[in-house]
Amino acid sequence: MQAAVLRSRCGCTESDQKAWVRDGVLAPISAGFGPGIHAEYDEANVLAAAIALRMKRASVVVSRYAEAFAQLHVWLRARSALEWRRYQVVLTPEGIRFDSANSPLPTDISGFRVGLEGVCATIQDGEQLGQLQLNFGLRLAG
């Protein structure tokens, strides 16, 4: 998906999205080159942008967590998006910790904690393709 779709799905602004790419919070799956080739983003970027937006709204300086977001992208891309909802994460400037959503809140680490179930629920669905009507003109033989 292109940047405009990413922004509409997570609700961030263009300036936030560009700053987060520059800071390493977002990691396009393919870079843009010049005016004709746009960067492409995946679902991991949508989730990362939604988390970054929550952090920004909580007055957290998101760019300080670039290492945590780098680890988040690796973790998300190694798993099915269907699994993401079953985890909570704690982001620190040094990294990220993943725990089952059913686990008690970690007390041995302080950072920005977020349940991925709640984040996934706030992300807007991508464009849904309508079902294509195919007219084959089938008839019973006989």
Alpha-carbon span 61 to 138, nearest angstrom: 62
The amino acid occupying position 81 is A
CB atoms inside a 10 Å sphere around CB 78: 9
Q: What is the pLDDT of residues 67-97, one digit of tens each?
A: 999 999 999 999 999 999 999 999 999 999 9
Q: Is 18 left (phi over 0), alpha (psi -120 to 50) or beta?
A: alpha
Q: What is the pLDDT of residues 6-53, one digit of tens each?
A: 999 999 999 999 999 999 999 999 887 777 778 899 999 999 999 999
